[in-house]
Structure 1
């Protein structure tokens, strides 16, 4: 049987990779900011479906999750992006 070797992968454009990574980091920050704003609206009890103590608990949790996503996740992604891929 004749074995067919797969074609080599196409060359990677470093500029395209950098744009994609920049977009991913920006998207995480933007979504984190939206989560924080949504959590603050819940804390202020602007929605009829959550009121009282449940609103404060849920809003606090969402604000904390949004802050982590806004501040920590992009830094983790940066450190991940700086590592060389395994060969």
Structure 2
């Protein structure tokens, strides 16, 4: 279980870093399909989403992983 959690955290961080790099490429207008002001706005959005996924999402997952599993006390579920 710990190995799967470690893999998930690493995967989120890696994908966040890739999204950030892609956002910077858009900001530098390296693609023909987006240029000018649209490139700056789109690149900034990608960078912010990537940073959120790189920094915040793994911390949220860690807090979820640390919570103990709910115990079944024998009562029927609604």
TM-score by length of 2: 0.90
Displaced runs of 4 or more, over 2 A? none
Q: Which has the higher contact order (CA 8 A, sep 6+)?
A: 2
Once residues 36 and 85 of structure 1 are traced to their aligned partners in structure 2, the CA distance between those partners, rounded to angstroms, is 34
Aligned residues: 71
1:67 aligns with 2:41: no
TM-score by length of 1: 0.81
Kindly report which structure 2 residues correspond to 1:11-22, keeping only aligned pairs within 5 A, or say none.
Answer: 17-22=1-6
Unaligned 5+ runs, structure 2: 72-78
Q: 2:32: which partner in 1?
A: 48
Q: 2:75: which partner in 1?
A: none
Unaligned 5+ runs, structure 1: 1-16
TM superposition shift of 1:80: 0.3
Q: 1:39: which partner in 2?
A: 23
TM superposition shift of 1:65: 0.2
